[in-house]
Amino acid sequence: MTRVHDMGGRFGDWAIRPESEDEPVFAENWQARALAVTLASGFLGQWNIDVSRHARERLSPTDYARFSYYEKWISGLADLLVENDVLTLDDLRDASEGDHPLAARMLRAEAVAGALAKGGPADRASDTPIKFEIGDSVRTVRPTANRFVDGGHTRLPGYAAGAKGRILKLHGTHVLPDSNAHGLGEAPEPLYAVAFPASELWVNPEHPKDEVVLDLWQSYLEPL
Amino acid sequence: MPHDDHDHPHALLPPEPALRVKALETILTRKGLIDPAALDEIIDTYQNKIGPKNGARVVAKAWADPEFKQALLQDATAVVADLGYYGRQGEHMVVVENTPEQHNMVVCTLCSCYPWPLLGIPPGWYKSDAYRARAVREPRKVLSEFGVSLPKDTSVRVWDSTAEIRYLVLPMRPGRTEGLSEDELAVLVTRDSMIGTGLPRVRS
């Protein structure tokens, strides 16, 4: 029901290898280029952040597991460029020079600082009435899945599906990724921080008082 | 090595990562869609201009100024924007405070969401499968791998960044720091202490 990226709670991974805070931001130059090419391509305006996250998630499970972090970025980007008709498959094989209809949108060096500083807020006005108050008990929907598109993008991790929690905070009304990742509109709705006791999520929680908090859209939640 | 999944266009590019990036950059440049100088500018921004020193300034200020701290916990986005920290991946900020009763720790299990304007680009371990998979289920074991052990009565709250809200941990101010200036306090604030996988430096 979910995809390979949805790995929260999974068993079998290695110990963490902490890094000194003096390590370079990019271990290798190509990683920096991968990040920059991806950001710059985003400014062509042919997709939004939810579409681009979904492009990485849609890598085959084999590729996703085998690719390093920035390999996922660059491969997801190549797929996005073709799927959105920015490039053709032939371009990927051997690109010719020439006028491109989107060239006028190219991010120029002098525009970078302003574009990064501007950001892209995700809060929007919404007509959807706010259903829950702080302290309310809720249950997440189960199974976790995009309700509009089979196999589509969603932000409810599998480990928290069908779990009981309580509303900690209302963040306002935000773009719904399940809709926005598929060209179905921004469909903003209330977004909450929801606290779940660790005992609600794991068979053997480490401590009786531990909690996990997730940011969840109203349509992921049912009243209890 | 197995080949890429051939249903996807990316399989047409060279498999070796550095060559794959170079190929795509070249194609996009030829088409007039990418300005290589803009890429240099983006890299310079995240390599040299934006990083954990920003977050450390915010934390030090919160330690030094109770009113600022109150405002920060109330509406972090506006307060850090006033200090000049706003932008991509920091549009909606929430700051969570560590106390003797509760320790906070931040993860993104679904990808690698991270407060860029305050902490820069995340370290490798933050983006690793191991951290993403384990931080929610066994935070104390993960903390022990960072050399952190918490008092028995302290609860752990793990924040899984599943939306566009970005979290910064406000660590507890270390002892023996009375009378230090904000600049001196900021030196004690580590990147990991603002993610919740570390504690601030202790003054020698």
* Per-residue pLDDT, B86: 96
Same domain, B126 and B101: yes
Query: For residue range A15-33, what is the model confidence (pLDDT) as tens digits?
Result: 999 999 999 999 999 999 9
Phi/psi-derived region of residue B89, left when phi > 0, alpha when psi is between -120 and 50, beta in every other case: left
* Per-residue pLDDT, A97: 84
Q: Is residue B5 very low, low, confident or very high in pLDDT (cuts 50, 70, 90)?
A: low
Q: Is residue B2 very low, low, confident or very high in pLDDT (cuts 50, 70, 90)?
A: very low
Q: What share of chain B is helix, strand, coil (3-state, %, to 5)?
A: 45, 10, 45
Same domain, B38 and B101: no
Say yes or no for a CB contact (<8 Å) between B46 and A92: no
* Per-residue pLDDT, B6: 62
Helix (H) or strand (E) holding B58: helix B52-64
Distance (Å, rounded) from C-alpha B143 to C-alpha A167? 26
Location of each CATH 2.30.30.50 domain in chain A: 137-223
* Per-residue pLDDT, B4: 55
Same domain, B99 and B177: yes
Query: For residue range A38-88, what is the model confidence (pLDDT) as tens digits?
Result: 999 999 999 999 999 999 999 999 999 999 999 999 999 999 999 999 999
Query: For residue range A106-149, what is the model confidence (pLDDT) as tens digits?
Result: 999 999 999 999 999 999 999 999 999 999 999 999 999 999 99
Is-contact A75 A67, C-beta < 8 A?
Answer: yes
| Residue-wise DSSP of B6-52 | TTSGGGGS-SSHHHHHHHHHHHHHHTT---HHHHHHHHHIIIIISSH
B1 located within any domain: no
Q: Cis omega before residue A143 (within 30°)?
A: yes
- Residue in A with minimal Cα distance to B102: A210
B163 located within any domain: yes
Residue B186, token pair as written in the block: 């900021």
* Contact list, B45 vs chain A (CB under 8 Å): 112-113, 116
Same domain, B191 and B108: yes
* Contact list, A20 vs chain B (CB under 8 Å): none
Distance (Å, rounded) from C-alpha B154 to C-alpha B130? 24
Decide if A211 touches B, using CB distance below 8 A: yes
Same domain, B21 and B101: no
Query: For residue range B127-182, what is the model confidence (pLDDT) as tens digits?
Result: 999 999 999 999 999 999 999 999 999 999 999 999 999 999 999 999 999 999 99
Is-contact A196 A180, C-beta < 8 A?
Answer: no
Residues in a beta bridge with B60 = none
B193 counts as catalytic: no
Same domain, B76 and B171: yes
B6 located within any domain: no
Per-chain mean pLDDT for chain A: 96
Buried b (16+ CB within 10 A) or exposed e, B22-49: bbbbebbbebbbbbbebbebbbebbeee
Same domain, B71 and B135: yes
What's the mean pLDDT in B76-93? 97
Determine the structural domain holding residue B55 and report its residue range: 51-195
Same domain, B98 and B188: yes
Same domain, B74 and B157: yes
* Per-residue pLDDT, B1: 39
B108 counts as catalytic: yes
Tokens 């068979």 -> residue: A203
Mutation target to probe the A interface, by most A beta carbons within 10 A, among B102, B134, B167 is B134
* Contact list, B17 vs chain A (CB under 8 Å): 30, 34, 68, 70-71, 74
B125 located within any domain: yes
Helix (H) or strand (E) holding A214: strand A211-217
- What's the CATH number of domain A29-118, 1.10.472.20, 1.10.3720.10, 2.60.120.10, 3.40.50.970? 1.10.472.20
Query: For residue range B92-110, what is the model confidence (pLDDT) as tens digits?
Result: 999 999 999 999 999 999 9
What's the mean pLDDT in A158-169? 98
CA distance A109 to chain B (A): 4
* Per-residue pLDDT, B173: 98
Phi/psi-derived region of residue B118, left when phi > 0, alpha when psi is between -120 and 50, beta in every other case: alpha
B113 counts as catalytic: yes
Is-contact A152 A54, C-beta < 8 A?
Answer: yes
Would the pLDDT of B3 be above 60?
Answer: no
Would the pLDDT of A37 be above 50?
Answer: yes
B204 located within any domain: no
B165 located within any domain: yes
Same domain, B121 and B27: no
Distance (Å, rounded) from C-alpha B15 to C-alpha A150? 30
Say yes or no for a CB contact (<8 Å) between B10 and A121: no
- CATH architecture classification, A137-223: Roll (2.30)
Query: For residue range A186-201, what is the model confidence (pLDDT) as tens digits?
Result: 999 999 999 999 999 9
Residue B13, C-beta contacts closer than 8 angstroms, at least 6 positions apart: A75, A78, A92, B19, B20, B23, B24
Mutation target to probe the B interface, by most B beta carbons within 10 A, among A41, A51, A75 is A75
Interface of A with B in 18-77 (CB under 8 A): 18-19, 21, 23-30, 32-37, 39-41, 44, 49, 53, 56-57, 59-60, 62-63, 65-66, 68-71, 74-77
Same domain, B38 and B104: no
Same domain, B27 and B72: no
Nearest to B27 among A24, A30, A91 (CB): A91
B131 located within any domain: yes
What's the mean pLDDT in A159-188? 98
More confident: B7 or A90: A90
What's the mean pLDDT in B53-71? 98
> Which is nearest to B117 in space by CA: A35, A50, A119, A215?
A119
- Residue in B with minimal Cα distance to A106: B33
Spell out the alpha helix ranges (H) of B109-178. 116-119, 124-127, 129-134, 139-145
Query: For residue range B25-61, what is the model confidence (pLDDT) as tens digits?
Result: 999 999 999 999 999 999 999 999 999 999 999 999 9
* CATH code where residue B59 lies: 3.90.330.10
Q: How many domains does chain B have?
A: 2
